[in-house]
Chains A and B, each alone.
Chain A
């Protein structure tokens, strides 16, 4: 072993930065996509239309009961085969680890964001919806202009905290041989046989970014408390 050798890190910094930028990109897209999908799921759960509410609840409970790793594998390995049998094609369609990762995280996070958004909507006094209707807004206007802005504002700290968790979970895509931050570190670690340095560095990067974000969320929480 012979002590730490950080030179391999310096040389591979651009490669690692690319990995980090992939991680951030996937996190941001999955957070935004997951929030939008979560809003639709929450509205379905609260719709009062029994089959729709039931289907959304079943989806959310399923996603929340299965380990993320299994969901990732399931999408990556099984969905192409399923698509093949549905379309009757000769070969499974090539979805690729990238697209598979984006779709998986949006669909998976949607279930968690759904529950946050649903709690947010339920935290808004019922009179607000009454007032929105009374002034002539229809359902979609009332949701879009009155209920959701308040619900999301109230829930912003929780949504961001969930996004920090997501940021860490995204590292699982390394198992699909995707070059996210962890994936990049694995590749270099194996090439240069510098496992300890690489994994320490990645852990530190994750810690610094996650902790900084959580401090940001705390500050935001205080500000929202003042506005309320």
Chain B
């Protein structure tokens, strides 16, 4: 059974169809990269996985639990799936350590000292233990994103979702964030990553999903995706051509 199973998902904004019959899956321990041109629905799809966006057709099953079923405890489901956003979305009114502790205490019911220990463990892991008392606004973009990853890890997630985690960063900070993500992948974290970092996709991911105009156009093993470009769809080749030329 896949950790994340996306089954025929369609979604509309009024008349406009953003997602059309999308199906894919992420196995336990697998790293799947989702790419595609701007506006193709990548963010929308990944936000459907933890029900930040509702959808009208199909279903998504995370670790055996349907996100669209009526009885599903969504806050609980979301607390088990980590999410990292393009714009970090740290809570600016809380210190770094408080950012890491908040949901551990309020959602998981951990004690403050337990939450502090866990928070410091992951803060240390992303190399920012010395920044614990700073506020997000006092950190660089790369540091903020590493804190955001640590915040998600504090919840002991069964899977991590990344929505363009490096595209809002200055180029010199992309590496430090990717490094943390590579480490996670190596440890066997289940990851679904929307990114245009083709280097990361090629060296770390197991599969690549390519989206265009709300549809999943390609869904294949990374080796096949990059190794056999002639067999790719016209749109995927155009996209790769553009992005690799950069």
Contacts and interface: CB of A to CB of B under 8 A. Distances in A.
A222 to B, nearest CB: 17
Contacts of A131: 83, 85, 89-91
B52 A137 contact: no
Nearest to B87: A127
- What size tier do the contact residues of chain A reach? 20 to 34
A228 B137 CA distance: 8
Contacts of B202: none
A137 B103 contact: yes
A136 B107 contact: yes
B99 to A, nearest CB: 9
B141 to A, nearest CB: 14
B75 interface: yes
Contacts of A228: 137
B89 A141 contact: no
Interface in B72-95: 75-76, 78-81, 83, 85, 87, 89-93
Given A136-B107, A150-B93, A145 B78 contact: no
Contact of B83 (A134, A141, A149): A134
Interface in A103-137: 125, 127-128, 130-137
B242 interface: no
B181 interface: no
Given A133-B75, A134-B50, A137-B103, A149 B93 contact: yes
A218 interface: no
B126 interface: no
Contact of A135 (B47, B93, B102): B102
Interface residues of B, number: 26
A52 interface: no
B78 A135 contact: yes
A113 B96 CA distance: 31
B70 interface: no
A138 interface: yes
A153 interface: yes
A137 B75 contact: yes
Given A130-B52, A141-B106, A145-B102, A136 B79 contact: yes
Contacts of B76: 136
A125 B76 CA distance: 24
Nearest to A228: B137
A146 interface: yes
Contacts of A146: 91
A107 to B, nearest CB: 30
A137 B99 CA distance: 13
A11 to B, nearest CB: 51
Interface centre among A135, A141, A145, A146 (most CB of B within 10 A): A135
Nearest to A136: B79
Interface centre among B50, B52, B79, B103 (most CB of A within 10 A): B103
A130 B91 CA distance: 11
Given A127-B85, A135-B107, 16 more contacts: A127-B87, A127-B89, A128-B89, A131-B83, A131-B85, A133-B52, A133-B75, A133-B78, A134-B83, A135-B152, A136-B78, A136-B80, A136-B108, A145-B106, A150-B91, A227-B137
21 contacts: A125-B89, A127-B87, A127-B89, A128-B91, A130-B47, A130-B52, A130-B85, A133-B52, A133-B75, A134-B50, A135-B102, A135-B103, A135-B107, A135-B151, A135-B152, A136-B76, A136-B103, A136-B155, A141-B106, A141-B107, A146-B91
The 9 closest A-B pairs by CB, nearest first: A136-B79, A131-B89, A136-B107, A134-B83, A135-B103, A127-B89, A138-B75, A136-B75, A136-B78
